Structure 1
Amino acid sequence: MTLSTLKREQIKKDLKDNSFDVVIIGGGITGAGIALDASERGMKVALVEMQDFAQGTSSRSTKLVHGGLRYLKQLQVGVVAETGRERAIVYENGPHVTTPERMLLPMHKGGSMGKFTTSIGLTMYDRLAGVKRSERKKMLNKKETLAKEPLVKQAGLKGGGSYVEYRTDDARLTIEVMKRAEEKGATIINHSKSMHFTYDNNEKVNGINVEDQISGETYTIGAKKVINASGPWVDEVRSGDYARNNKQLRLTKGVHIVIDQSKFPLGQAVYFDTEKDGRMIFAIPREGKAYVGTTDTFYDNDKTSPLATQEDRDYLIDAINYMFPDVQVEDSDIESSWAGVRPLILEEGKDPSEISRKDEVWEGKSGLLTIAGGKLTGYRHMALEIVDLLAKRLKEEYKLKFKPCETKHLPISGGDVGGSQNFDNYIDEKVKDAKAYQIDEPLARHIVSKYGSNAEELFKIAQTAQYQDTGLPLDIYTELIYSIQNEMVYRPTDFFIRRTGKLYFKIDDVLNYKEQVIDVMSELLGYSDVQKELYKQELETAINEAQTGNNQPAVKE
């Protein structure tokens, strides 16, 4: 079975009728990674997500799988070494969603990065993170720095450093991991909320009660163990269990803005100092746009809908105009934006940027396992840690034996392309194959670059859709049908935000084709009139929130 919206009722039946080794609460990158690791070891796995996959934090990051240069500044040497290693694994297992990107680190007089310390820092970073020879740091003089990015502020410029980060599509990384977990036997559903735990006679957790957020139906999923991987909602989920420790989360908010390259013609990714608080932020070119972020502020409001405020937008516009003074961007130049919350583990007295991004596994007296904190880059290793503990408990309590972790060399869905070094050749070969489906080269190249070894499925859809009369361009129609049949898209926002990223990087497509997309989805999925109107309003709200400065206090009033 695939992750098909059209098979939703069958998936629910499977969840009700079977008993599982583990049920995972949370369908972000952490939950997806756990589902893949556990199912690859041979465990019977269920996973529920109350919203859409990656809707919480895993679609709202800086979209970098990074080695953690900023952690070197905080002397978190172990974090740098681990994230560097994991970054290489993430890239190798899914080169269609992760791409190396040279990053420029300009150094100015009075800035936080001196030439000597930067050189030493980047050298240490290369060694700790096990960086490939071709991707190691280069130190640049002023002229070389400006040649890389002429827009960088010239006043006080001393030179720069160049190193490699990995750009990713965070939401697509999550869905590709989820699809591979499903291929390995996991039973997975979105828009399904865990309401409370069930217990056996010994007061041990043995399942969850679930409410389908679309139909309102409730049912029970039975499992030997339950893992809480709900990101920002970790504390809420745990509050339903009688066994609590004294740990808790501290949420911080990060905002990014998107500007068209006609207004901000950024040719090179840059990691730079802000003027006001010394925080370092990224400016990254992508798909004809430049996106800039992130802010870092404490947040205690609606977790499902953190918003970019006018203050956040002003901060980032000021940061751009400080480092790129000839650009002179204004608030009206912002095409789109997004905000996300980081679920960090509380450390009293620390500023948002100082709180560690480490992850922790907590085990309750009830047997509930919780994973908190962590980063996108470390998702596979986080899964390894908690599934190792899960396997140990299943062996002790149920005499069950499973294989060790095997995800290090396991491609995610779409990643069967012969390794990262072969990916360009793979694209060229598949583009040739697309001719047999009467698909032109630009569309074929887009499909293979984005979907990797799943491209053939989209070619088949595109071939039969050449004469569809929905009013949608072939590329949007093809991706929409594929995402409904294979990626559990149910709402228009699922498609426009998390499967395609169009709300952020191609907002004109959303504005121009939202009605047609809703019509196609309504017909295929059988929306009621009420649902259709609700989802239309939900999309309009998302568009408005992305385009404007919102009045949302950091703390709920």
Structure 2
Amino acid sequence: MANRKPRTTAEGRADSGRATGRLGVAERVDSWRRLSEETFDLVIVGGGVVGTGAALDAATRGLRVALVEARDLASGTSSRSSKLFHGGLRYLEQLEFGLVREALRERELVLTRLAPHLVKPVSFLYPLTHRFWERPYVASGLLLYDTMGGARSVPGQRHLTRAGALRMMPALKRDALIGAVRYYDAQADDARYTLTLARTAAHYGAVVRSSTQVTAFLREADRVCGVRVRDAENGEETDVRAHAVINATGVWTDELQRLSGSRGRFRVRASKGVHIVVPRDRIVSETGLILRTEKSVLFVIPWRNHWIIGTTDTDWNLHLAHPAATKADIDYILEHVNAVLATPLTHDDIEGVYAGLRPLLAGESEETSKLSREHAVARVAPGLVAIAGGKYTTYRVMAADAVDAASADLPGRVAPSITDKVPLLGADGYHALVNQVDQLGARYGLHPYRVRHLLDRYGSAIYEVLDLALDEPELLRPVPAAPDYLRVEVVYAASYEGALHVEDVLARRMRISIEYPHRGVDSAEPVARLVGGVLGWDEATIAREVEVYRARVDAERDSQTQPDDQAADASRAAAPEIRPEILEQVS
């Protein structure tokens, strides 16, 4: 397949990188030049939701900003969450009212203004098991939940009898509840949301570059004045000069602090959370479910044609890039959800499994489930700010706090944060396009349900995606062995979204790695050929990409049969690293 070049669409819209937040081949080359030649106000280290959020915050304040990520955007915690924008119902019980209010305010903001194309309301059933006292107790908590933070975009709580709850969720055992309350939160594809943040930051002028690893900090006397970075694809190195650096690396915070030679003001503790994915027809229900456990809560979350069930909450002190789920983790989830299901789930029902690490602030308690979800920001040295903790939902507040803290090291006055007024790419025009799905479908020869699916992934950027198929209509066919996705989305991932490897596409730009029983293996070769057509791969590179991806899946499957973290980590670590020049000893 010939390399695809930037082109002008049928409507005359130019495919210019900065205008669209494009992260393509040409932009990657240009970003390396800019990193080497320019002096930035801020360099942000870490391409998760907080780092990309900080890049957008800084860029929209008029600052010169660069963001570097050692692996792929959202490759850590920000692609492995419960995929919820929520206040955290259990934090009400812990009396963390400020945290809940802040999170609910952010939930309202993303639903209505910032990202209505990516974030959607989702309902949950809260089963009641005790008579008399539990219903008023839960009702009072949910009344707070429904009104704190200015929440207006989701329905309020609805109380149900046992019969009413079972009609809504026939999958439940009759004796699992005496009644229920239905309430609403919101959900999003966490990896896609983070990627959209990064592209929006690039749209406003930020340099955004993945596979770019910090190997050292630059200093002038006692002041941090930039970083040395290494291209994890080819081993090239360069110095990046900046007035200040923000460490937004999540669970890698302590490692980067050690690399900087500065003493940290707080410690970060990694807590492993495991989720399983099962087919939608295995649990008959029109709503999600929240269950109390002896340690925390367990969610059953609607996810297109699937359910996501999780999570666990255990210490993790092993490989940070590849946390591994164990058989014990999976058994824990199955045991707790099966306690209320009329037809139990088995290991054979599981389509996908993923494990992520929460960056919790250490010191408050020995139990990770009780460690604070508040965030902390510290100026750990002149020119160096670190931020950690918090929740995915509150990323925007965290990002603004980090840039505020770094502003002490920046010349001149720094404007206040305005990201509460800046819609993400794809948001503008989304609602109008929802009303035009039939016309869009007719124009491109797609069923309206397919257009709706694309709108909920790309919003008004759907034209950018589909215009790539104007000269190659075969790109509008489904991805082999993954019919929920179109081939043109693979091309778009490599052309616009910074995907450099098959894994980047199967695990994050799309969620094929967790949504299909083959976990992406059956799609790996055709996806590699599509990506290779954009990135200029030869047959040897295509074969290596497929081989490494299959090895990753085999290693993950094996780790999920192991009895403990050490054995699972050893199994997962056996898979080769797809980024050939990455250095494992630093984040």
Coarse TM-score class (shorter-chain normalised): over 0.9
Please tell me whether the aligned partners of residues 90 and 377 of structure 1 are also in contact (alpha carbons under 8 angstroms): no
Taking the aligned partners of 1:133 and 1:18, their CA distance within structure 2 comes to 43
**Offset at 1:451?**
0.8
2:379 paired residue among 354, 363, 388 = 363
**Could you say which residue in structure 1 is the equivalent of 2:276?**
257
SS at match of 2:125: strand
**Offset at 1:67?**
1.2
Aligned residue type for 2:299: F
Please tell me whether the aligned partners of residues 307 and 545 of structure 1 are also in contact (alpha carbons under 8 angstroms): no
SS at match of 1:316: helix
Unaligned runs of 5+ in 2: 1-16, 571-587
Q: Normalization by structure 1: what TM-score?
A: 0.92
Please tell me whether the aligned partners of residues 34 and 383 of structure 1 are also in contact (alpha carbons under 8 angstroms): yes
Mark the CA change 1:431 to 1:452 in structure 2 (over 3 Å): closer, same or farther. farther
1:166 paired residue among 175, 186, 191 = 186
Superposed CA deviations along residues 114-148 of structure 1, whole A, max 9, x for unmatched, are 22211111112223233227522222222222222
**Offset at 1:267?**
2.9
Please tell me whether the aligned partners of residues 65 and 87 of structure 1 are also in contact (alpha carbons under 8 angstroms): yes
Instruction: Tell me if 1:316 matches 2:333.
Output: yes
Aligned residue type for 1:30: V
1:219 paired residue among 234, 238, 244 = 238
**Could you say which residue in structure 1 is the equivalent of 2:109?**
89
Tell me the percent identity.
Answer: 31
Aligned residue type for 2:43: V
Mark the CA change 1:528 to 1:369 in structure 2 (over 3 Å): closer, same or farther. farther
Taking the aligned partners of 1:85 and 1:471, their CA distance within structure 2 comes to 38
Superposed CA deviations along residues 26-63 of structure 1, whole A, max 9, x for unmatched, are 00000010000100010000000001000010000000
SS at match of 1:403: coil
Please tell me whether the aligned partners of residues 137 and 162 of structure 1 are also in contact (alpha carbons under 8 angstroms): yes
Taking the aligned partners of 1:246 and 1:440, their CA distance within structure 2 comes to 54
Taking the aligned partners of 1:527 and 1:65, their CA distance within structure 2 comes to 38
Instruction: Tell me if 1:450 matches 2:467.
Output: no
Instruction: Tell me if 1:204 matches 2:215.
Output: no
Taking the aligned partners of 1:133 and 1:512, their CA distance within structure 2 comes to 40
**Could you say which residue in structure 2 is the equivalent of 1:247?**
266
Please tell me whether the aligned partners of residues 47 and 68 of structure 2 are also in contact (alpha carbons under 8 angstroms): yes
Superposed CA deviations along residues 404-427 of structure 1, whole A, max 9, x for unmatched, are 111112111111136xxxx3x531
**Offset at 1:547?**
4.5
Taking the aligned partners of 1:507 and 1:278, their CA distance within structure 2 comes to 30
Please tell me whether the aligned partners of residues 439 and 459 of structure 1 are also in contact (alpha carbons under 8 angstroms): no
**Could you say which residue in structure 2 is the equivalent of 1:108?**
129
Give the alignment of 1:74-153 within 5 angstroms.
Answer: 74-92=94-112, 93-109=114-130, 114-132=134-152, 135-153=155-173
Taking the aligned partners of 2:149 and 2:343, their CA distance within structure 1 comes to 35
Give the alignment of 1:108-507 within 5 angstroms.
Answer: 108-109=129-130, 114-132=134-152, 135-155=155-175, 157-200=177-220, 202-274=221-293, 277-324=294-341, 326-394=342-410, 398=411, 400-417=412-429, 423=431, 425-467=432-474, 472=479, 475-507=485-517
Taking the aligned partners of 1:5 and 1:228, their CA distance within structure 2 comes to 26
Please tell me whether the aligned partners of residues 47 and 188 of structure 1 are also in contact (alpha carbons under 8 angstroms): yes
SS at match of 1:62: coil
Aligned residue type for 2:466: F
1:71 paired residue among 91, 94, 101 = 91
Aligned residue type for 2:380: G
Please tell me whether the aligned partners of residues 312 and 329 of structure 2 are also in contact (alpha carbons under 8 angstroms): yes
Q: Which moved more, 1:142-151 or 1:520-529?
A: 520-529
Please tell me whether the aligned partners of residues 108 and 153 of structure 2 are also in contact (alpha carbons under 8 angstroms): no
SS at match of 1:125: helix
Mark the CA change 1:434 to 1:104 in structure 2 (over 3 Å): closer, same or farther. same
**Could you say which residue in structure 1 is the equivalent of 2:3?**
none
Superposed CA deviations along residues 136-167 of structure 1, whole A, max 9, x for unmatched, are 22222222222221222321522111111101
Q: Which moved more, 1:88-97 or 1:433-442?
A: 433-442
Superposed CA deviations along residues 344-363 of structure 1, whole A, max 9, x for unmatched, are 01025431211111110011
Aligned residue type for 2:549: L
**Offset at 1:495?**
0.4
RMSD of equivalent CA atoms:
2.3
Please tell me whether the aligned partners of residues 491 and 534 of structure 2 are also in contact (alpha carbons under 8 angstroms): no
**Offset at 1:490?**
0.5
Taking the aligned partners of 1:83 and 1:392, their CA distance within structure 2 comes to 27
Taking the aligned partners of 2:348 and 2:437, their CA distance within structure 1 comes to 41
Superposed CA deviations along residues 180-228 of structure 1, whole A, max 9, x for unmatched, are 100000001001110110011x321111010111111111111110000
**Offset at 1:464?**
2.3
Unaligned runs of 5+ in 1: none
**Offset at 1:470?**
10
Deviating above 6 A after TM superposition, structure 1's stretches of 4 or more consecutive aligned residues are none
Taking the aligned partners of 2:38 and 2:451, their CA distance within structure 1 comes to 41
SS at match of 2:344: coil
Aligned residue type for 1:220: D
Mark the CA change 1:507 to 1:220 in structure 2 (over 3 Å): closer, same or farther. farther
Mark the CA change 1:107 to 1:541 in structure 2 (over 3 Å): closer, same or farther. farther
